[in-house]
């Protein structure tokens, strides 16, 4: 896999905001407003990321009030005497109000309503790629995307998902109807229309929904028609909102974005702006972490029963330093026949699948733990750290150390 590009820059052309004043002594260096919702996990993780940065850098006096997504800006903002703002700029109205403050602003929205604000955002292309690879790796050859036309980022995820699926030689359908007053997204009428559309799709079907709420609606449509999940239809969402995912029937698999790292990077960017550094109109794209698998995709969609059996064995035992000979003992076939069956069903060899599963486990440990590289290698099924480094670089284009530095959920020394 080619190394992901995490930052893309757009050229600056407009004058910067007014420079804030510095405070002397023991007082907080700057007064910062956080205009981020607390109604979902993504917003809360953004706030945790800002908190992480303040624990490693200068002290800030934070102005924050709880609010919902797309809520009007707080009434205190126009008269507030602060130094900088981190906000979800989710509409032209919000962008205009922030522009009028004249303060440095960092946008943490996945949308782009104001080009003059530097932005730190989730990498939607990488989100779509993780979802596609997850479903393709399960053996699905018929896939579908369920979007929401209210959001630009949803369209971006759908476009990139179709691109990855198409490049793998699989089929992809899309359900992205424009909402109406008679049938708004998530209404009974919308879910019935979604069920009617799913009825026309081939089985087994792997579905990527643009966010967890939309994925929950797909699962509701499946319940409406009594379709088996994940055997007939497997579903994966985005955001890994633990409560929502666990309330789904069955529990929902979801792409985990690195919102905490996004909040951290946004705070670091705002600090530079408040010190008077001129920022280009840039977007820093933070890649997601992984797919957190729950029951909604816990299946192997391969017609060949022997390949399906081998896949289950590899996924269960990849961390135990197994090799192809171990697979052949679990699934009695000749090596040549097993290789042929794997390539016909998945396009790669059993050895390649073992390596893929080990690398996936290593990525998980690197990002979500602080154990040493040697321990990561042991837990992921590699003989030692050197073998892990060689395989990891071949797979990702970078070392395990570099991967951990770019993707970790919490910055070193920030605390939890």
pLDDT digits (tens, 9 = 90+) for 55-111: 887 889 999 988 777 777 888 998 999 999 999 998 888 899 999 999 999 999 988
Nearest Cα to Cα of residue 317 among 308, 307, 327, 325: 327
Average model confidence (pLDDT) for the chain? 86
HEC states along 137-149? HCCCCEEEEECCC
305-407 CATH choice from 1.10.3450.40, 3.40.1310.30, 3.40.640.10, 1.10.10.60: 1.10.10.60
Residue 23 binned pLDDT confidence (cut-offs 50, 70, 90): low
352, 363 contact by CB (below 8 A) = no
Architecture of domain 7-122+259-286: 3-Layer(aba) Sandwich (3.40)
Decide if pLDDT at 6 tops 50. Answer: no
Decide if pLDDT at 407 tops 90. Answer: no
Q: Which residue has the higher pLDDT, 270 or 21?
A: 270
Least confident of 104-108, 164-168, 251-255, 328-332: 328-332
**CA 22 to chain centroid:** 36
Output the pLDDT for position 27. 62
- The Cα 184–Cα 90 span in angstroms is 19
Output the pLDDT for position 85. 97
Q: Which residue has the higher pLDDT, 178 or 9?
A: 178
Residue 21 binned pLDDT confidence (cut-offs 50, 70, 90): low
- The Cα 177–Cα 147 span in angstroms is 8
3-class secondary-structure state, position 291: strand
Tokens 């892990």 belong to residue: 388
Q: Which residue has the higher pLDDT, 69 or 118?
A: 118
Decide if pLDDT at 167 tops 80. Answer: yes
The segment(s) of the chain belonging to CATH 3.40.50.2300 are: 7-122+259-286, 124-257+292-297
3-class secondary-structure state, position 215: helix
207, 235 contact by CB (below 8 A) = yes
Name 106's bridge partners. Answer: 86
Burial of 398 (0-12, 13-18, 19+ CB in 10 A): middle
Tokens 């690879």 belong to residue: 133
Architecture of domain 124-257+292-297: 3-Layer(aba) Sandwich (3.40)
Least confident of 5-9, 81-85, 353-357: 5-9
Alpha helix stretches (DSSP H) within 39-91: 41-56
Parallel, antiparallel or unpaired: strands 281-286 and 7-10: antiparallel
Radius of gyration of the chain (CA): 23
Tell me the pLDDT tens digit for each residue of 301-343. Answer: 777 888 888 988 988 888 888 999 999 999 888 999 999 988 8
- The Cα 416–Cα 40 span in angstroms is 19
351, 359 contact by CB (below 8 A) = no
What percent of the chain stands above pLDDT 90? Answer: 56
Tell me the pLDDT tens digit for each residue of 192-209. Answer: 999 999 999 999 999 999
């Amino acid at each position: 896999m080619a190394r992901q590009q995490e930052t893309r820059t757009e050229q600056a052309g407009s004058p910067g905001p007014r420079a804030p004043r510095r405070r002397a002594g023991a007082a907080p260096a700057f007064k910062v407003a956080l205009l981020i919702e607390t109604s979902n996990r993504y917003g809360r993780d953004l706030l945790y990321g800002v908190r992480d940065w303040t624990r490693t850098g200068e002290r800030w006096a934070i102005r924050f009030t709880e609010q919902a997504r797309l809520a009007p800006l707080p009434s205190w903002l126009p008269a507030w005497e602060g130094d900088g703002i981190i906000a979800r700029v989710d509409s032209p109205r919000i962008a205009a109000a922030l522009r009028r403050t004249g303060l440095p602003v960092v946008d943490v929205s996945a949308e782009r309503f104001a080009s003059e604000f530097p932005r730190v955002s989730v990498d939607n292309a990488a989100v779509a790629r993780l979802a596609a690879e997850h479903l393709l790796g399960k053996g699905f050859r018929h896939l579908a995307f369920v979007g929401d036309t209210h959001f630009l980022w949803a369209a971006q995820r759908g476009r990139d998902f179709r691109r990855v699926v198409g490049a793998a030689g699989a089929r992809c359908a899309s359900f992205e109807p424009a909402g109406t007053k008679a049938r708004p997204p998530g209404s009974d009428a919308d879910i019935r229309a979604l069920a009617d559309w799913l009825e026309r799709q081939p089985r087994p079907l792997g579905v990527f929904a643009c966010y967890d709420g939309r994925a929950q609606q797909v699962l509701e449509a499946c319940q409406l028609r009594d379709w088996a999940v994940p055997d007939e239809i497997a579903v994966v969402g985005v955001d890994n909102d633990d409560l929502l995912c666990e309330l789904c029937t069955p529990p929902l698999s979801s792409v985990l974005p690195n919102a905490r790292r996004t909040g951290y990077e946004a705070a670091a960017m705002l600090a530079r702006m408040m010190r008077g550094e001129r920022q280009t109109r840039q977007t820093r794209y933070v890649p997601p972490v992984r797919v957190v698998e729950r029951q909604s995709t816990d299946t192997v969609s391969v017609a060949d029963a022997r390949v399906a059996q081998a896949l289950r064995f590899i996924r269960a035992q990849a961390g135990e330093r197994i090799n192809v000979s171990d697979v052949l003992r679990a699934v009695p076939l000749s090596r040549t026949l097993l290789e042929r069956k794997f390539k016909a069903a998945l396009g790669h060899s059993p050895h390649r699948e073992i390596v893929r599963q080990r690398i996936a486990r290593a990525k998980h440990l690197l990002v979500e733990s602080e154990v040493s590289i040697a321990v990561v290698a042991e837990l992921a099924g590699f003989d030692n750290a050197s073998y892990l480094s060689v395989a990891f670089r071949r797979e990702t284009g970078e070392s395990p150390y570099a991967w951990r530095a770019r993707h970790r959920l919490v910055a070193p020394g920030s605390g939890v």
